[in-house]
């Protein structure tokens, strides 16, 4: 009881700064921008933005997948390293996070643009500027770069908690290294993979700054649409409706993932 | 020992705050006004010019809380959503008319603004504020096309912004009014049209331009054009002079179809709580020193008498900042559009900006669905298999018992 009392400041914080704004989002999503009456028009008119929504989800999925492919071996290598070195390696992974995310994105812009550093160097060798920026690839690059630590950390945490005796047992029972990985390590790390994927996917699907800076006029993402509803078009109701739909979709994704990973964990306990 | 040291340190640290606290309570709290202006639109003390806000504080003791916006539309949104109160804002003509019609501005007391007398007569009794009740002109200017002579042939017309040779090197306004005006002028339509089919035609032209556009920007245009990352962009003449000083390859064109001629003026929104201080600020901005410093810094046309003549401009720069009457006769002012027309324009603009139909989204949809389905099937299969295995194990265990 006493412990619960100590949590009350956060409860108050959460209800004022998370629950109440969420209620405001729901309220705006279902009211008309002019009359303030109840309407479903905002939700219906999201239909116009389906292509952008799908594209955002696709780019976020691709980024999560690339993060997984890049991040998993790193997490495994760190988890296998000597205890004393692990802390240092994790610090290295987290190092970029200590710099502002905006600065890192702007740094990519000056690297990639047509008159940027990379194309300048290429130009010295007589190579005409490559289209490195303002396309989907650049947006995915920006997201992978920014969100990679969010993949490595949870996977590492799970991998470093795998009981080494399980791996030894597998080896004793005649598994080769591939089999050890596929039958022991990978299944036991599924919960880490799933939380890593959702940690990357959720911010990636709603990003707007990266796509604005690294994307071109054709790579609008759903986050950009929401931003412009609030900032330039002055239609907060539609913006709220899109946010709400996005939020529901993200919750469904997380819920599905949790369900599957949950059953894995229960399995492991048995 | 350590503890006493710590206590002493803490005491010293606390003492350090005492003088501030004493000062805060002793001196009367100075008045503060919130000024909301366009970016790069005031002399800030660089280039050896007067720091106008600091000079105002020195002269009156009123502190200035200064912040900037990127477009009339974002200013409007900020005022409309509330949450912050501003004492002085500097919107453009058509936005002033809209704010007046929506009752969002306060009438000024011109007795507190004696320097209003030095504003040029041609900037009084304007269309947006016919009786001179709500606004005091800050700057006037024109919109034209800035281009890099190294990469772009001489530009004379708005059509250059639709020239496929410059694909990926074209910048465009990130606000509906200026963007629509560019398209409307290219099509030969009146920039103040409220006709829906005209607006749709302009939107179609803007949508056709989209694949050629590098990005939709406002003040980023400085950086992109100076470094030749982009080659051609429509923007304000005053800003061209700033850019031209950085990169002499840049040139400016008053398009032959016509161009926007605008006035930005200082107003006090109804949310202001310190009207007299705000009027003192407006008055100060109309003083010769402040206006001259601002004009030298921004490159825009000052409405204050005598300022234009006092500026050190090259012949070329003067021809653009203060164009001849012959050129000015092609300028058109934006008028306030009806609420309906504004709404149509806003939503058409949003469609232009966010329409993703240029890429085939069906591919993305199919790919996304495939990934999700494969992942779901795989996970379902796994958990199913495991559950079966567990059930079997349990059955075996029961059997053994």
A263/B387 CB distance under 8 A: yes
Find which of A212-221, B12-21, B39-48 is predicted with most confidence, using mean pLDDT.
Answer: B39-48
Identify the H or E element spanning B316: helix B315-321
Q: Determine phi and psi for B137, rounding to 5 degrees.
A: -55, 140
ipTM computed for the complex = 0.73
Average pLDDT over chain B, rounded to an integer: 86
Report pLDDT for B1. 46
* pLDDT averaged over every residue in chain A: 87
pLDDT higher at B191 or B336: B191
- Number of Cβ within a 10 Å radius of residue B85: 14
Show residues of chain A in contact with B386, CB under 8 Å: 263-264, 267
pLDDT at B280 over 80: yes
Report the Cα A255 to chain-centroid distance in Å.
15
Beta carbons of B364 and A49 less than 8 Å apart? no
Residue B221: is its pLDDT beyond 50? Answer: yes
Q: What is the pLDDT of residue B303?
A: 93
Mean pLDDT of the A168-180 span:
90
**How far apart, in whole angstroms, are the C-alpha atoms of residue B324 and residue A258?**
70
Separation of alpha carbons A176 and A163, rounded Å = 18
pTM above 0.80, yes or no: no
Chain A residues with CB under 8 Å of B83 CB are: none
Instruction: Convert A13-29 to b/e letters by CB count within 10 Å (16 or more is b).
Output: eeeeeeeeeeeebeebb
Locus of tokens 């051609």? B232
pLDDT tens, position by position, B50-104: 999 999 999 999 999 999 988 898 898 888 877 678 999 999 999 999 999 989 9
Q: Which residue has the higher pLDDT, B107 or A256?
A: B107
Cross-chain residue pair B354–A225, CB shorter than 8 Å? yes
Report the sign of the C-alpha dihedral through residues A45, A51, A56, A60, in that order: positive
Provide the pLDDT confidence category of residue B19 given band limits of 50, 70 and 90.
very low
A81 CB contacts (<8 Å, ≥6 apart)?
A: A89
CATH of domain A49-221+249-269: 1.10.3720.10
- Residue B145 clears pLDDT 80, i.e. is over it: yes
Closest CB to B357: pick one of A51, A224, A235: A51
Chain A residue with minimal CA distance to B347? A233
CB contact under 8 A, A232 and B176: yes
Phi then psi dihedrals of residue B222, to 5 deg: -55, -55
Is the model's pLDDT at B284 over the cut of 50?
yes
CB pairs below 8 Å between A and B: how many? 101
Give the pLDDT confidence score for residue B17 in this predicted structure: 47
Q: What is the pLDDT of residue B359?
A: 52
Q: What is the percent of chain A where pLDDT is above 70?
A: 95
The predicted-structure confidence for A76-85, as pLDDT tens digits, reads as follows: 999 999 988 9
- What's the pLDDT tens digit per position in B366-400? 777 777 788 777 777 777 777 777 787 887 777 66
Give me the pLDDT at residue A1, please: 55
Chain B residues close to A218, C-beta within 8 Å = 210-211, 356, 358-359
| A77: region left, alpha or beta (phi > 0 left; psi from -120 to 50 alpha) | alpha
Chain A residues closer than 8 Å to B228 by CB? 115
For residue B92, the 8-state DSSP code is B
Query: How close, in Å, is residue B220 to chain A by CA atoms?
Result: 11
**Does the beta carbon of A50 lie under 8 angstroms from any beta carbon of chain B?**
yes
What's the average model confidence in pLDDT over A236-256?
87
- The confidence score (pLDDT) of residue A134 equals 86
What is the arithmetic mean of pLDDT over B145-157?
94
Task: From chain B, pick out residues whose CB is under 8 angstroms from the CB of A49.
Answer: 354
Q: Please give the average per-residue pLDDT across B250-270, as a whole number.
A: 94
Q: What is the distance in angstroms between the Cα of B388 and the nearest Cα belonging to chain A?
A: 11
> Please, which pLDDT band fits residue B108 given cuts at 50, 70 and 90?
very high
CA of A262: which chain B residue's CA is closest? B383
**Within a 13 Å sphere around the CA of B126, how many CA atoms are in the beta-carbon half?**
29
Confidence (pLDDT) at B40: 87
């Amino acid at each position: 009881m006493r412990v619960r009392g100590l949590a009350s400041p956060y409860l108050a914080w959460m209800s004022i700064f998370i629950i109440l704004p969420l209620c405001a989002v729901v309220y705006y999503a279902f009211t008309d921008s002019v009359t303030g009456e109840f309407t479903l028009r905002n939700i219906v008119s999201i239909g116009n933005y389906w292509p952008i929504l799908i594209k955002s989800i696709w780019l976020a999925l691709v980024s999560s997948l690339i993060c997984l492919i890049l991040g998993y071996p790193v997490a495994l290598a760190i988890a296998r390293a000597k205890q004393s070195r692990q802390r240092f390696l994790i610090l290295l992974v987290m190092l970029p996070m200590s710099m502002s995310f905006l600065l890192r994105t702007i740094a990519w812009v000056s690297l990639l643009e047509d008159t940027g550093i990379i194309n300048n160097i290429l130009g010295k060798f007589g190579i005409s500027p490559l289209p490195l920026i303002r396309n989907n690839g650049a947006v995915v690059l920006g997201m992978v770069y920014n969100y990679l630590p969010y993949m490595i950390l949870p996977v590492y945490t799970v991998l470093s908690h795998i009981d080494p005796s399980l791996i030894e047992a597998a080896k004793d029972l005649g598994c080769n290294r591939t089999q050890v990985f596929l039958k022991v390590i990978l299944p036991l790390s599924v919960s880490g993979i799933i939380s890593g994927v959702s940690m990357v996917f959720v911010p990636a699907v709603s990003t707007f700054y990266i796509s604005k800076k690294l994307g071109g006029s054709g790579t609008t993402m759903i986050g950009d649409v929401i931003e412009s509803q609030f900032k330039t078009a002055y239609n907060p109701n539609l913006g709220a409706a899109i946010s709400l739909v996005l939020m529901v979709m993200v919750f469904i994704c997380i819920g599905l993932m949790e369900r599957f990973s949950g059953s894995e964990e229960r399995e492991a306990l048995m | 020992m350590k503890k006493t040291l710590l206590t002493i340190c803490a005491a010293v640290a606390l003492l350090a705050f005492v003088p501030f606290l004493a000062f805060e309570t002793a001196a009367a709290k100075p008045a503060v006004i919130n000024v909301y202006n366009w970016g790069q639109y005031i002399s800030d003390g660089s280039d050896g010019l007067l720091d106008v806000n600091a000079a105002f504080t020195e002269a009156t003791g009123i502190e200035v809380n200064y912040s900037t916006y990127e477009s009339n539309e974002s200013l409007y949104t900020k005022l409309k959503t509330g949450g912050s109160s501003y004492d002085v804002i500097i919107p453009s003509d058509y936005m002033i008319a809209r704010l007046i019609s929506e009752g969002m501005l306060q009438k000024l007391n011109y007795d507190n603004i004696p320097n209003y007398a030095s504003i040029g007569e041609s900037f009084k009794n304007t269309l947006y504020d016919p009786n001179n009740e709500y606004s005091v002109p800050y700057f006037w200017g024109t919109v034209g096309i800035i281009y890099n002579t190294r990469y772009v042939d001489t530009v004379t017309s708005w059509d250059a912004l639709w020239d496929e040779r410059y694909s990926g090197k074209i910048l465009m306004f990130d606000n509906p009014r200026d963007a629509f005006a560019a398209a409307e002028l290219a099509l030969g339509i009146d920039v103040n049209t409220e006709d829906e089919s005209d607006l749709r035609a302009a939107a179609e032209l803007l949508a056709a331009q989209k694949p050629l556009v590098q990005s939709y920007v406002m003040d980023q245009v400085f950086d992109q054009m100076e470094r030749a990352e982009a080659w051609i962009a429509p923007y304000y003449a005053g800003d061209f002079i700033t850019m031209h000083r950085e990169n002499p390859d840049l040139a400016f064109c008053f398009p032959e179809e016509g161009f926007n001629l605008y006035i930005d003026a200082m107003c006090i929104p109804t949310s202001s709580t310190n009207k007299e201080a705000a009027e003192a600020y407006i008055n100060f901005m109309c003083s010769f020193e402040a206006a001259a410093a601002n004009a030298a810094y921004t490159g825009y046309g000052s409405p204050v008498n005598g300022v234009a003549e006092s500026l050190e401009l090259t012949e070329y720069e003067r021809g653009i900042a203060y164009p001849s009457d012959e050129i000015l006769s092609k300028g058109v002012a934006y008028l306030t559009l009806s609420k309906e027309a504004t709404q149509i324009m806003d939503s058409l603009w949003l469609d232009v900006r966010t329409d993703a139909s240029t890429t085939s989204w069906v591919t993305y949809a199919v790919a996304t669905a495939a990934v999700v389905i494969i992942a779901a099937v795989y996970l379902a299969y796994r958990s199913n298999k495991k559950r079966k295995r567990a059930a079997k194990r349990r059955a075996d265990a029961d059997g053994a018992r």
